Amino acid sequence: MAIVEVKSGVYWVGAVDWNVRHFHGVTYTTHRGTTYNAYLVVGDKYRALVDTVYEPFTDVLVAHLEALGALENLDYVVVNHVEMDHSGALPRIKELSPQAKIYCSPRAVEPIKKHFGSRTDGWDITTVKTGDELDLGGKTIRFIEAPMLHWPDSMFSYIPEEKLLLPNDAFGQHLASSQRFDDEVENSILMDEAAKYYANILLPFNSLVERKLKEIAEMGIEIDTIAPSHGIIWRRDPGQIITAYQKWSTGVETPGRLSPDAVVVFDTMYGSTEKMAEVITEELAILGYRVNLYNIGKSDYSDIIREILEAKAVVVGSPTLNNGILHSMSPLLDALKGLKPKGKIGAAFGSHGWRGGAVSQIAGSLAEGGIEVIGDGLAIPWIPSDDELQECRNLARELDKVLKAKGQ
C-alpha cells in the first residue's frame, strides 16, 4: 500500500497483512487481516522511525523508507513495544542505518537482546521514561510509559507539534484495508474490530487502561489524531475510541447501545444441553433481553469474547463427560479466567448421565474469571422433562432478578 502522510512530516510506512487469520497462535481470529503500522517522523535535523513491522513484511518497510530517502540515514528508531509484530524488521533496519540510535522503555532492553541475540552487538540503546523527549528539530517525540498495555515494555510516543499520539497496540484493531483513516472505512466494522481487539488483548488490564486514560487526560496534552500500530488511524473522531476504552475498561454502559445483553454458550452431545440453552435463551428474550446463542463447537470463541465484552450476562452450559466439561468449552473458559471481564453476571447449566460435574466446573471457572455466578447452576439428568425445562426458564428469571437488582 502507498505511503501516506498522516500529519505534516509524519508518514505511514507500514505494511498490510491481508491474509493473516490467526494472531497469538490460534487464540485470536483475524477474519479481516491486519496491518503493521510504522511511522517515519521527519524533523528539520533528524529522522526517527517509530516501530517497525513483522519480519516477513520487512521488504515493504524498506521500500517505503527508500522511497522517502530515509533508508540509510535514520537517526533514531523508537521501539514502543518489542513484540515481534512490531520489532521483527529491527535488525534489517539497523543493518541499513547502523548509526540509528534505539529509544525504548527500560523493560524493552532485555527482550530486544533476547530476540535478536548477537545482531544487537554494538547497538546504541537509550532507555526513556514518561516525559523524556527526543528533539528532531521542529518535531518532538515525547515518551509516555504504558506498562502492561499490553506488555511491561509498552510505551506511547506523542508528537506535540502535530497533536499526534502513536500508542502502538492500544486503540488498534486487526483490520486490513487499502485505506488508512477512520473517515475512509465503515465505522461499524471499525468499532467492531476495535472492540474485539480490546476484548481479546486488553481486557485483563482494565484498571491499567482506566488509569492510563486518566493520566493522559491530566497531562492536558492535545490529541487530534491517534495512530496505532494495527489497523486504522483515528483522525475524524479520536474521542470515539477514547470513550469506548473508558466504557470497556470500567464496564460502564453506554445509553443506546444495541449489543447483546446476554450471551448463552453451550456444547451438546445428544441435544439435552442444547435444549436447555434454547429455553434459557428464549426466556431471556421474553424477559426483554437482547440475547445471542452460540454452539461453541460451531463458533469462534474470540468472536464470543468480543460479545461478552459488552454483555451484562454470560450463561454457559455443557454436558458432563468424564466428570467434567466437554473439552470444546475449555478454550473459552480458560480465556475468561485470564481476561476477567468486568461487571458480568454468570450462570452455569448442563445435562448429565449417570454422574454430573460439568456445571460446578463451569461455575468455578466463571467465578475465577471474576464473573458473579448465581446459585449453584442447573444440572439436569438425561433428557430434560417439561418440569425441568421450566427450571431452565426459572434460571433465566433468576438472572433477570439479579440484573434488575443491580440496576442493569
Which active-site residues does the annotation give? 24, 81, 83, 85, 150, 169, 197, 230
Using CB under 6 A, list all residues that contact ligand FEO: 81, 83, 85-86, 150-151, 169, 229-230
Strand partners, 79: 104
**Which residue, 151 or 294, is less far from ligand FEO as judged by CB?**
151
**Min. distance of Cβ 152 from ligand FEO in angstroms?**
11
Nearer to ligand FEO, 57 or 151 (CB): 151
Quick one: 30 exposed, middle or buried, by C-beta within 10 A (0-12, 13-18, 19+)? buried
Q: Which is nearer to ligand FEO, 19 or 118 (CB)?
A: 19
C-alpha cell at 140: 518532538
- Distance, in Å, from the CA atom of 143 to the CA atom of 135, rounded to the nearest integer, reads 12
Question: Which residue's CB comes closest to ligand FEO?
Answer: 83
Q: CB within 8 A of 283, min separation 6: which ones?
A: 392, 393, 396, 397
SS3 32: coil
In angstroms, the Cα distances linking 321 to 37, 267, 269, 280 are 46, 11, 9, 22
Which residues in 105-205 belong to E strands, given as ranges? 125-127, 133-135, 140-145, 155-159, 164-166
Give the C-alpha separation, 166 to 323, whole Å: 50
> Which amino acid does the sequence have at 2?
A
Kindly state the smallest distance separating residue 23's Cβ from ligand FEO, in Å.
8
Task: Give the CA distances from residue 202 to residues 305, 350, 394, in Å, rounded to whole numbers and listed in that order.
Answer: 12, 30, 35
Closer residue to ligand FEO (CB): 149 or 280: 149
For 362-404, give the DSSP string. Answer: HHHHHHHTT-EE-SS-EEEESS--HHHHHHHHHHHHHHHHHHH
- Distance from C-alpha of 321 to C-alpha of 54, rounded to nearest angstrom: 42
C-alpha grid cell, residue 150? 499490553
